């Protein structure tokens, strides 16, 4: 196991919600990362952000770890959820709420509903 893979695995398994993204949750560096961070921030999710632009090993390693070619990547309780399109679809369908509920992740249910209403 490479150092990057080991670091990724430790991060994913030691935090309830992790977002591998370009930039940070306070300052995303791409539109897709911004969209996912925006959803998580708006819903009040307590999550760990990992800026893949700060470490080329992590940037490549996360793609191999998940067998998913793009960033951002969301993990909940050590499990890969998906990228921007999947997280967006799950948010709008309510599946993301269910995933958080099933895994004991606190979030603002009213905020989640407002996102759906705004996109109806």
Q: Is the dihedral of CA 76, 82, 86, 88 positive or negative?
A: positive
30 labeled binding residue: yes
Q: What is the pTM of this model?
A: 0.96
**23-74 tens-digit pLDDT:** 999 999 999 999 999 999 999 999 999 999 999 999 999 999 999 999 999 9
pLDDT over threshold 80, residue 1: no
Angle at 25 between CA 20 and CA 26, to 5 degrees: 155
Domains detected in the chain: 3-118 (3.40.30.10)
Q: What is the mean pLDDT of the chain?
A: 96
pLDDT over threshold 90, residue 93: yes
């Amino acid at each position: 196991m490479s150092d990057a893979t080991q670091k990724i695995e430790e991060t994913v398994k030691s935090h309830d919600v992790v977002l591998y993204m370009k930039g940070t949750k306070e300052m995303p560096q791409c539109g897709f990362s911004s969209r996912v961070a925006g959803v998580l921030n708006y819903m009040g999710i307590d999550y760990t952000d990992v800026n893949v632009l700060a470490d080329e090993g992590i940037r490549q390693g996360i793609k191999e770890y998940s067998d998913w070619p793009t960033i951002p990547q969301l993990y909940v309780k050590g499990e890969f959820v998906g990228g921007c399109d999947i997280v967006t679809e799950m948010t709008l369908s309510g599946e993301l709420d269910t995933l958080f509920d099933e895994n004991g992740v606190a979030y603002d249910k009213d905020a989640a509903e407002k996102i759906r209403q705004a996109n109806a």
